[in-house]
Structure 1
Amino acid sequence: MKRIVWMGIGVAIGVIAFRKITEAQANIGPEGLNRAVGRMADGLFDFADAVRTGMHQREEDLRAALGIDDAGAGRR
């Protein structure tokens, strides 16, 4: 019985190791690099959009608190 359990554990570890190695090999080539750069660029664009949205919301809050209307928003 112990041999069957240890055999199952060994097979599971082998399958996990094989999947990790296959995944690492897929990430090494140019396609993997392109995917990584694309994900990073998407993350940066999402972050920039969130910052812009937060800045706009904060500016609206400050204008409301100070009683400034939006008519003069275009002038600086």
Structure 2
Amino acid sequence: MKRIVWLGVGVAIGVIAYQKITEARSMASPGGVNRAIGQLADSISHFADQVREGMGEREAELRRGLGLDS
């Protein structure tokens, strides 16, 4: 029974290692690096858009609170 459990653990570790190696290999290729940089740029752009939107909402709240909206 113990051997079957350890065999299962070994197979699971092997599958995970194979997936990680395949992922690292695809990221090491020139297209993988470009894709990763593109995803990072998209994430940064999305974050900046959210910050700008939040700033606009907060500015509108402050203007209403101070009575500057005429």
* Sequence identity (%): 60
Higher Cα Rg, which structure? 1
Query: Deviations for 1:1-34, whole angstroms, at most 9, x for unmatched residues?
Result: 2222222221121111111111110111111111
Query: Deviations for 1:30-55, whole angstroms, at most 9, x for unmatched residues?
Result: 11111111111111111111111111
In the superposition, the TM-score normalised over structure 2's length comes to 0.85
Q: Which runs of 5+ in 2 are unaligned?
A: none
- Which residue of structure 1 lines up, in the alignment, with residue 44 of structure 2? 44
**Separation in 2 of the partners of 1:60 and 1:22?**
49
Q: Which has the higher contact order (CA 8 A, sep 6+)?
A: 2
**Separation in 2 of the partners of 1:66 and 1:2?**
72
Alignment RMSD (CA, Å) = 1.4
- Which residue of structure 1 lines up, in the alignment, with residue 66 of structure 2? 66
- Which residue of structure 1 lines up, in the alignment, with residue 31 of structure 2? 31
Name the amino acid aligned to 1:11. V
In the superposition, the TM-score normalised over structure 1's length comes to 0.80
Q: Which runs of 5+ in 1 are unaligned?
A: 71-76
